[in-house]
Amino acid sequence: MTLVFMPNQRKMRRFAVVVSKKVLKSAVGRNRIRRRIYEAIRLENPDCLPPMDGIFTVHNTSFLKMPFRELQTTIHELLERSLDSMV
């Protein structure tokens, strides 16, 4: 999974999760991955980030069956790395 930040003109942070059909043909599976990642982002509550758009791009199906704690850790690490690169 990769995370890319783009500046926005709004006063808030927004996140998007992209799961391509090339990764998983089933819409049910793609939506499940998206919902799990959005929930991990919500629980992470990245308040320290500036108002930007974050785009998570999923590259494989491992996030479908990954334990939720491990998914949360992955999201946390990606957000921390992106914060360090922004500073």
Render pLDDT for 21-63 as a digit per residue (tens, 0 to 9). Answer: 999 999 999 999 999 999 999 988 766 667 888 899 999 999 9
Instruction: Identify the architecture of domain 2-86 in CATH.
Output: 2-Layer Sandwich (3.30)
Residues 6+ apart with CB under 8 A from 83: 48, 49
Q: Give 34: exposed, middle or buried? Use CB within 10 Å, 0-12, 13-18, 19+.
A: middle
Q: Has residue 83 got a pLDDT over 80? A: no
Residue-level pLDDT at 87: 58
Q: Has residue 16 got a pLDDT over 70? A: yes
Rounded percentage of the chain residues whose pLDDT exceeds 70: 93
Closest by alpha carbon to 2, among 47, 52, 63?
A: 63
Q: What is the pTM of this model?
A: 0.87
Residue-level pLDDT at 49: 66
Domain ranges, ordered by start, for the chain: 2-86
